[in-house]
Structure 1
Amino acid sequence: MAAEYDFIIVGSGPAGGTLAYFLAQSPKKPNILILEAGSDNSDNNLRVDGKRWLTFMNKDMNYGYKTAPQTDANNREIDYSRGRGLGGSSAVNFGVFTVGAKDDYDEWSRLVEDPGESFFGWDRTKARLKKLETFHGRAPVTLENGTKYVSPRLEDHGSNGPLQVGFPAEWEDTVAPFLDQSENFGFPLNPDHNSGNPLGMSALISSAHNGRRSTARDLLQAIESLPNVTILTSSPVQRLVFDPSGLKKNPKVIGVESNSTKYLATKEVILCAGSLDTPKILMHSGIGPADQLSQFSIPLVHPNEAIGQNLRDHGFCPLVYLRKTPPLSDRARFYSSPTAQEEALAQWSKDGTGPWAKFACQTGIGFFKLPKLVSSPEFLALPEDEKSFLNQPTIPHWEIFSHFPIHWFMPEAFPTLTENTMFDYTCLLVFLYNAQARGSVSLQSSDPNVPLVFDPKFLSHPYDRRAAVEALREALRYTRTERFIEEHKIQDDGGVIAAPPTWDSKGEPGEEPSDEDLLDYWRNTISSSWHMSGTVKMGRAGEKDAVVDRKFKLMGVEGLRVADMSVAPVLLSGHTQAGAYLTGVAAAERILEDYGM
């Protein structure tokens, strides 16, 4: 006999974990099963704040997906990592907690709701944020004039939610000067990028507190001892189970199959496996594009050509410059000394303090518009609705991100890390926002344990290429200023580790790079931001690209909802883990309302 539950939630990442957290605490105590493909990720050392960049590389916790060769990125296969285990991708991501723009959520509402409704709008979203987070919103007491950089309205943030977010207790000594340099260049300071208006340069809000990363596993730990909650790890879901009596006319999902075991749901199954794996479960269950299912001999249950389409993502490229010696800060000494890192881990294990709670735990993050972009032919050729959205007052066109420890990601470009090696560098990441390319995920096997083919089509749209060029050009204008060169102590020869050709042999600003130079650099270096969205898109009945309705229900199939970033009809203007958590809250509200719970 198959085990039976009220609700089955597939996936334990930010969306699934949050959904489970709020459903489980309903006064009606629904019986909930959470199925996670990976392990329990219970080792406390996986939560070291400053090691978030290394945890990402843990092969036991990361599916290690790759894209298909990208035609417009020199046929490179690009890393498309996803988290594995309790907490999902929040267990391996970089902890960036950016909600996005007010206008993102108002646009989501406009796209899927009737006039006058605002379930997905900013006001409701802000209320969900307050339910979700415990916000630690103060600058370090040791930081002089800290309120210049950090002064959020605390009444706009949560104080009793399950997710710990905010600013670290100690900042590296180069963070505040970087923010000052940005302001001097003309990037205005924004004291709270999660206010609904992210525009400006901010100190980063992270999903961490007191040196410890906070992940979706925290939400699951809060409910795992409840008698109405069951969590099973090492339980990947291969396919859905249907009620055989209505399979031909009115398909109804009644459960899931995991490793040849069936689990039944008396109310609903909710897929929260993410933009890459939720479509896989649907397709291997017979829900998806008919021609793909036929090609791999998967019986068709419910055709929907839009499943697996509309893949969207942000891309980024790096700018890296070596500094003069001696190092500008003690970051270089720490990163070049295995002994110092080992001692720091012992200190962190004791009280959550020390270098692993400091280095690369605070960064600058800035979101900006590009005035030149909106007058370009590529922008003017966009549909009117898209142009209107991109011109909304809180929507950024690009992002800049500082203090990224890139030596772990491109070690071949740096000196050997030994205790006697002193090296220092400045790294900025340049992100392209609101890319217009629409990629896809598609079947490549009849085996449900084989990943789909992931093709985000990076840089394939003319607007994306123009926006990428203009964003990189603006970032280079910043790094070529005399103050930036002087305060970052860039080497006299330009110190270029990774940058387009903009420096002459004396280290002075050289000839302005051409559009083709900048685009070539993007093609050679673009990475995914791992913000995959849209492959099971939310929309209105009858729309060609719509899969789920505004209640997260998969249209044409009973007993099934999808609640993860695959449903997002908007590519949010930020790093999308916060959006995934908020999607889980919204889905919980819908379900609690529908069942009077």
Structure 2
Amino acid sequence: MTSQPSPHTWDFIVVGSGPAGSTLASKLASTASTPAILLLEAGPQKDAKSLRVDGQRWTTFQRPDMNWGYKTTAQENCNGREIDYSRGKVLGGGSAINFGIYTVGARDDYDKWAELVGDEMFNWENMQGRFKELECFTGEIRDERYRHFATPKVEDHGRAGKLKVGYPVELDEDVPLVMEAFQEAGLQANLDHNSGDPIGISLGINSAFQGVRVTAGDLLVDKPRNLEIQTEKTVTRVVFEDDRAVGVEVDGEIFLANKEVILCAGSLDTPRILMHSGIGPPAQLSAFNIPLLFPLPAIGQGLRDHPFAPLCLARAPNTNTRNAFYSNTTAMDTAMTQWQQDGTGPWSKHATQLVMGWLKSPGTLGSKEFANLDEETREFLTRPTIPHYEIASHFPIHMLVPGLITDYSYLCLAVFLMNGQSRGEVTLQSADPTVPLLFNPNLLSHPYDRRVCVEGYKELLAVTRHPSFAKDTVSTILGPASESDEDILAFWRDTVGTAWHMTGTVKMGKAGGEEEKDAAVDSSFRVFGVKGLRVADMSVVPVLTNNHTQATAYVVGGTCADVLIAEYGLDRISR
């Protein structure tokens, strides 16, 4: 089944350099036994500092040379719209094009994960340890006037990792105004959303440092000699000898692994590689004449995401200086010169700090849609740290939707659905392994999801009507026609996007019995029934964590590394 092998063989081959793959490869390579690691990335390496401007992190995804350019299928419950499904195609993966929000989720997410797979390795205590190992948390608020908005505890964060995360040096003038208005409107304050309890309103923690975006590629800086990185290498299939994975194929070239192949290509592309390798739902593979090696019906199923809808308001010009900046090309150019010199100035201030909150919805808990959920789901949704929706403010929507805004004093807020019950799938559309799968997240298909969308949006509207907030609102730029349930839901259908938090298409579960029917890998990341092949990315996560999921992807890679280090004794020096 193999063509001529490449001249080299490695111990481990890691496919995909996003947060999971880069964490996994760097951690394995840094062990005492120095195994030979090959990290393959489909995209190029992009090192230009200009791609890392903190205040421009909202536009990097628009570069076609760094983005796969995916879209969903036409969404039945969203007026037939095909919705942007961006994924990074560059060293660093999605972390190089995402919006730079670093949130770890709820401790109950990870405790539930451990329950579902029967392995305490995934509980909050253990996962928090890995988060702390990864990060270098620069958690101080420099301006003493605003330190009461965020006071993270030292014991909840790491200081020695390569991943620098924290708050910007300078805040937009109306960030404190909005924080205070939200609290006066009755929203609970949260002094650190990365403590394991995200409930309440916080200053968002960012994957940025001193005005510069931080990506998974930073974990590969000063890499050890035993880690080889090859970019612009798109893996089309896994190569097998009998029932063991022994390598991968890239444009007819074979790369061999002595020990393991680990797929870290994400929820949209890991299933593609598996299916074209003969692993997946038998009916799909048969329809495209792909020889079936290992039947696994769960592959491609269970796709989940976090949809969101915006609310855009014109605000009093005296509350901020954004209009003077964004409407003045000279000011922006001057600011860029300053940023290039030392990472400071307006490009390190504007659009670098979100106000964020994960909240419970009383209206949802009292609804028939909640009552109709199964008992296990209801129990999870009422756990102390589990929210029903998220709100965020200070999205620079003019960067994403040019022409919508004429006065940049506006404020764009968003409502995100958490713990949605809709399930989608990714499916084959071609026998050609270079053709993407079809991506159908099935957004807003579940009655519970639609109820949360309506109730969460209503609760945000109520906050914006509070006098402390409303006094600075001039008009509504983008919002529902009215506050009726029907108009709010219609607005969601017209405007919904996703946060690109695709999860669950190669789901982790317990091996054997009924639990295996909707799962594809075990708690050691091994693909069921296959030797030498593991998956370690967001596709395996059985809980859609309550966060912006790049942080979860990092810790998935770190956890898989711990498993491999223990199994192969990589922390011992080879003799």
SS of the aligned residue for 1:60 comes to: helix
Tell me by how many angstroms 1:47 deviates.
Answer: 1.0
Tell me by how many angstroms 1:221 deviates.
Answer: 1.5
CA offset digits 1:109-129 (Å, max 9, x no partner): 00001xxx5210000011101
SS of the aligned residue for 1:76 comes to: coil
SS of the aligned residue for 1:276 comes to: helix
Verify: 1:368 aligned to 2:359, yes or no.
yes
Q: TM-score, normalised by structure 2?
A: 0.96
Task: Quote the residue 2:566 is aligned against.
Answer: 593
Tell me by how many angstroms 1:150 deviates.
Answer: 1.1
CA offset digits 1:508-530 (Å, max 9, x no partner): xxxxx221111101101110110
Verify: 1:72 aligned to 2:52, yes or no.
no
Task: Quote the residue 2:401 is aligned against.
Answer: 410
Tell me by how many angstroms 1:446 deviates.
Answer: 0.9
Verify: 1:260 aligned to 2:252, yes or no.
yes
Aligned partner of 2:541 among 554, 559, 568:
568
Task: Quote the residue 2:573 is aligned against.
Answer: none
Tell me by how many angstroms 1:596 deviates.
Answer: 0.9
Which residues of 2 match residues 147-162 of structure 1 at below 5 A?
Answer: 147-162=147-162
Aligned partner of 1:558 among 501, 506, 531:
531
8 Å contact kept, 1:311–1:438? yes
1-structure distance, mates of 2:556, 2:362: 32
8 Å contact kept, 1:21–1:222? no
Which residues of 2 match residues 192-271 of structure 1 at below 5 A?
Answer: 192-223=192-223, 226-243=224-241, 246=242, 251-271=243-263
8 Å contact kept, 2:322–2:408? no
Aligned partner of 1:461 among 446, 450, 455:
446
1-structure distance, mates of 2:484, 2:565: 55
Q: Unmatched 5+ residue regions in structure 1?
A: 416-421, 503-512
2-structure distance, mates of 1:301, 1:332: 59
1:557 is aligned with what amino acid?
V
1-structure distance, mates of 2:456, 2:494: 16
2-structure distance, mates of 1:227, 1:467: 50
Tell me by how many angstroms 1:323 deviates.
Answer: 2.6
Aligned residues: 562
1-structure distance, mates of 2:332, 2:94: 25
8 Å contact kept, 2:173–2:319? no
Verify: 1:122 aligned to 2:120, yes or no.
no
1-structure distance, mates of 2:157, 2:375: 35
Which residues of 2 match residues 434-583 of structure 1 at below 5 A?
Answer: 434-486=419-471, 488=472, 490-491=473-474, 495-502=475-482, 513-542=483-512, 543-583=516-556
SS of the aligned residue for 2:430 comes to: coil
Query: Aligned residues: percent identity?
Result: 52
C-alpha spacing 1:143/1:335, structure 2 compared with 1 (3 Å): farther
Verify: 1:90 aligned to 2:95, yes or no.
yes
1-structure distance, mates of 2:399, 2:338: 22
Tell me by how many angstroms 1:349 deviates.
Answer: 0.8
2-structure distance, mates of 1:529, 1:129: 21
SS of the aligned residue for 2:357 comes to: strand
Verify: 1:110 aligned to 2:108, yes or no.
no
Tell me by how many angstroms 1:483 deviates.
Answer: 2.2
Tell me by how many angstroms 1:501 deviates.
Answer: 2.3
2-structure distance, mates of 1:360, 1:593: 42
1:65 is aligned with what amino acid?
Y
Aligned partner of 1:132 among 108, 113, 134:
134
8 Å contact kept, 1:307–1:547? yes
C-alpha spacing 1:56/1:327, structure 2 compared with 1 (3 Å): farther
CA offset digits 1:265-313 (Å, max 9, x no partner): 0000000000000000000111001111111111111111110000000
Q: TM-score, normalised by structure 1?
A: 0.93
Q: Unmatched 5+ residue regions in structure 2?
A: 571-575
CA offset digits 1:213-254 (Å, max 9, x no partner): 11000001231xx221110001010111011xx2xxxx2110
Tell me by how many angstroms 1:197 deviates.
Answer: 0.2
Tell me by how many angstroms 1:11 deviates.
Answer: 0.1
SS of the aligned residue for 2:285 comes to: helix
Tell me by how many angstroms 1:482 deviates.
Answer: 2.4
1-structure distance, mates of 2:180, 2:123: 34
2-structure distance, mates of 1:94, 1:56: 9
8 Å contact kept, 1:107–1:121? yes
Verify: 1:301 aligned to 2:293, yes or no.
yes
2-structure distance, mates of 1:327, 1:277: 47
2:437 is aligned with what amino acid?
L
Tell me by how many angstroms 1:327 deviates.
Answer: 4.8
Aligned partner of 1:57 among 56, 62, 78:
62
Tell me by how many angstroms 1:143 deviates.
Answer: 4.2
Verify: 1:385 aligned to 2:376, yes or no.
yes
2:412 is aligned with what amino acid?
C
1-structure distance, mates of 2:469, 2:225: 58
Task: Quote the residue 1:337 is aligned against.
Answer: 328
Tell me by how many angstroms 1:89 deviates.
Answer: 0.2
2-structure distance, mates of 1:561, 1:121: 20
8 Å contact kept, 2:245–2:533? yes
Task: Quote the residue 2:25 is aligned against.
Answer: 20
